Amino acid sequence: MAKLNVFDRMQKLDRRWIYLVVALAIILPLIIPFNSKTYVTEPTENVYKKIDSYAGRTDRAILMCFSHDASTMAELFPMEVAILRHCFERKVRVLTICFMPAAKPLMDYAINTAKEDYDVQSGVDYLSFGYKPYSLFLITLLGMGDDIAEAVETDDQGRKIENLEIMKEITNYNEMNLVIDFAASAAVYSWIVYARARFGVNVAAGITAVMAADNYPYLQSGQLIGMLSGLKGAAEYEKLVDIFAMNKDEYGNPDPREFSKEIIKESWIKLSDIENRKYKTARIGMNAQTVAHVMIIVFIIIGNIGYFVSKNKENHIG
Amino acid sequence: MSFEAISNFVAAILTLFIFSFLYKDNPFYKFAEALFIGVSMGYAIPLVYENAFMPFVYTPIFVEHKFIIIIPALMGSLYIFRFTKNLSWLSRYPIVFGMAIVGMGVPMSIHSSVLVQMRSAMLPMDNINTIIIFIGTVTILLYFFFSKAHRGFYGKVTNVGVWFLMVGFGASFGYTVMARISLLIGRIQFLVGDWLGLIK
């Protein structure tokens, strides 16, 4: 019987050992955290800048559309919380909606998680339109271009939205001029095709990494004003909120800063200094992601070396 | 024990049941899978009833007496006949009305996916990005032109298109790996952080 070399043995390795190594590569960096640097990309910056430009304005609002269920919560939930935190901190009016039954509890959970630390009121600072059946998606989407109060009518508590404080200066996409769709599917495409093309509304995407490559062409053509891609996008946004929106002066009082690339370069945030874990979830996750990626690259290199060694051996035998 | 601690414990045990499939198929995995489907449906049905049937069927007909709603309501109920062999053809009528949306989508999709994308590929070639976009778009389009054999100079040009496609597939694959690892990280963060309290 021919003696197996190390590469032959690896090719016959039980895949459950690989699962164990992957689990350890993720668990250890989570328990023993380190500060992996988060580089902020332009699509994320653009979303931040757009939202921040509405700070303190009562005649502007953003719409967050939750188009995902719990299966992709790990990637999308941290970005939703980061954006809501940004809005609550900078007094940007937020409207939320979902067209999937399974998205409703996630939408409520995101709002409740972010508002814990702020004195914000439903109907004044934010408003949840609640769950609307998917069959009404297009009717609602197009209807909001004319009159939101007519297209949606009631919020998730059954109140007529036209009577609410938050809607006093918000009529249609002219005021609700940014839609961010959080999706693990092509849902954002509908906003581009119908809301962007028909009404010229600014559309941004908070999407799972799987969907990112598909959406880059829309980013390049300007049909998406910005994009948060997976856990990395969420980590970038968390960082921007900490650097700019949450900036404090020397006495510890809130002192939000204007966006600047120079400040991003100079800023170094130690994760252990942020007390509340909900505001650094994505960045902690990216520590584990970094280690897991290095491990996968090593696996791919070893696998390829093994493949060529085995092929070379077969050629010699042949 | 607080409600949060109990719900975290239940969620953690169910997560471990699902993860047990990585070792091999087992009854715990099957139990968690069936429970998930049941809970999802149990949650969705009353939500849809409350948010679709009540405001759009019951209230308009029985409270506001808008009897015209009976026609679309009956039309919609024809979907149920999908489950019968002999009368399944009746379900095609509501589908016909649904297809109207496709008609509306065609011109808008052409605008967003073709015209605007074409315009953004026709930028002045004054930087490296637009040059790459131009070469990539043209060579890939030529690769998918099958009326001419991919030989000689033309074959070399289409080969460039293949390289662009491979880069695109590589980017998609890289993002997919990142996404899958992120999902695992999310669950492990829950187990190690929320349940066991080991993440600071």
Report residues of chain B scoring pLDDT below 50. none
Instruction: Measure CB to CB from residue A101 to each of B47, B116, B177 and give the nearest one.
Output: B47
Within a domain: residue A288?
no
> Touching check for A200 and chain B: CB below 8 Å?
no
Same domain, yes or no, for A69 and A24? no
pLDDT at position A1 over 60: no
Within a domain: residue A289?
no
Same domain, yes or no, for A234 and A198? yes
Residues pairing with A282 in the sheet: none
Residue A256 has which token pair?
């939000």
Within a domain: residue A26?
yes
The answer to whether the CB of A263 falls within 8 A of the CB of A244 is yes
pLDDT on residue A94: 97
Cβ-Cβ contacts under 8 Å, B105 against chain A: 193-194
Classify strands A61-67 and A178-183 as parallel, antiparallel or unpaired.
parallel
| Percent of all residues in chain B with a pLDDT value above 90, rounded to a whole number | 70
Which distant-in-sequence residues (6+ apart) come within 8 Å of A80 by Cβ? A64, A66, A106, A110, A182, A206
Report the residue of A22, A131, A215, A232 to disrupt the B interface, i.e. the one with the largest count of B CBs within 10 Å.
Answer: A131
pLDDT on residue A111: 97
pLDDT on residue A255: 87
The answer to whether the CB of A182 falls within 8 A of the CB of A68 is yes
pLDDT on residue A3: 65
Within a domain: residue B163?
yes
Query: What average pLDDT does chain A have?
Result: 92
Same domain, yes or no, for A63 and A163? yes
Same domain, yes or no, for A306 and A230? no
> Touching check for A143 and chain B: CB below 8 Å?
no
Q: Look up the domain containing A16 and give its range.
A: 6-32+294-317
Compute CA B71 distance to the chain's CA centroid, rounded to the nearest angstrom.
32
Instruction: Measure CB to CB from residue A75 to each of B52, B183, B192 and give the nearest one.
Output: B183
Within a domain: residue A114?
yes
Give the number of C-alpha atoms closer than 13 A to the C-alpha of residue A52, restricted to the C-beta side: 19
The number of beta carbons lying within 10 Å of the beta carbon of residue A115 is 17
Residue A137 has which token pair?
């998606």
CB within 8 Å: A26 and B188: yes
Same domain, yes or no, for A141 and A258? yes
pLDDT on residue A2: 60
Instruction: Measure CB to CB from residue B101 to each of A138, A197, A285 and give the nearest one.
Output: A138
pLDDT at position A7 over 80: no
The answer to whether the CB of A230 falls within 8 A of the CB of A208 is yes
Which distant-in-sequence residues (6+ apart) come within 8 Å of A76 by Cβ? A68, A182, A183, A184, A206, A207, A208, A234
pLDDT on residue A251: 84
Sheet with strand A178-183: strands edge to edge: A126-131, A93-98, A61-67, A178-183, A202-207, A226-229
Cβ-Cβ contacts under 8 Å, A135 against chain B: 52
Give the span between the Cα atoms of B36 and A184, in whole angstroms.
19
Within a domain: residue B187?
yes
Residue A186 has which token pair?
């092509």
pLDDT on residue A37: 85
CB within 8 Å: A73 and B186: yes
Give the number of C-alpha atoms closer than 13 A to the C-alpha of residue A186, restricted to the C-beta side: 6
Same domain, yes or no, for A236 and A305? no
Same domain, yes or no, for A249 and A100? yes
> Touching check for B46 and chain A: CB below 8 Å?
no
When mean pLDDT is compared over A27-41, A235-249, B119-133, the highest value belongs to A235-249
Instruction: Measure CB to CB from residue B120 to each of A136, A222, A229 and give the nearest one.
Output: A222
pLDDT on residue A316: 80
Within a domain: residue B118?
no
Same domain, yes or no, for A311 and A202? no
Within a domain: residue B139?
yes
pLDDT on residue A154: 92
Tell me how many domains chain A contains: 2
Q: Could you tell me the pLDDT band of residue A249, with boundaries at 50, 70 and 90? A: confident
Q: Could you tell me the pLDDT band of residue A9, with boundaries at 50, 70 and 90? A: confident
The answer to whether the CB of A243 falls within 8 A of the CB of A263 is yes
Same domain, yes or no, for A193 and A311? no
Cβ-Cβ contacts under 8 Å, A19 against chain B: 22
Cβ-Cβ contacts under 8 Å, B200 against chain A: 33, 272, 277
Within a domain: residue B135?
yes
pLDDT tens figures, A252-292: 888 888 899 999 988 888 888 888 889 999 999 999 999 99
Same domain, yes or no, for A94 and A204? yes
Q: Could you tell me the pLDDT band of residue A179, with boundaries at 50, 70 and 90? A: very high
> Touching check for A203 and chain B: CB below 8 Å?
no
pLDDT at position A232 over 70: yes
Q: Which of A173, A208, A209 is nearest to A191 (CA)?
A: A173
The answer to whether the CB of B160 falls within 8 A of the CB of A1 is no
Report the residue of A77, A100, A223 to disrupt the B interface, i.e. the one with the largest count of B CBs within 10 Å.
Answer: A223
Which distant-in-sequence residues (6+ apart) come within 8 Å of A20 by Cβ? none
pLDDT at position A43 over 90: yes
Same domain, yes or no, for A51 and A28? no
Within a domain: residue A120?
yes
pLDDT on residue A248: 84
pLDDT tens figures, A281-302: 999 999 999 999 999 999 889 8
Q: Look up the domain containing B195 and give its range.
A: 125-200
Report the residue of A19, A131, A214, A221 to disrupt the B interface, i.e. the one with the largest count of B CBs within 10 Å.
Answer: A221
What SS3 state is found at A181? strand
CB within 8 Å: A135 and B52: yes
Give the span between the Cα atoms of B193 and A110, in whole angstroms.
18
pLDDT on residue A4: 67
Cβ-Cβ contacts under 8 Å, A16 against chain B: 22-23
pLDDT tens figures, A146-176: 999 999 999 999 999 999 999 999 999 999 9
Within a domain: residue A173?
yes
Same domain, yes or no, for A24 and A51? no
pLDDT tens figures, A88-133: 999 999 999 999 988 999 999 999 999 999 999 999 999 999 999 8
Tell me how many domains chain B contains: 1
Q: Which of A80, A44, A70 is nearest to A182 (CA)?
A: A80
CATH of the domain at A149: 3.40.50
Within a domain: residue A287?
no
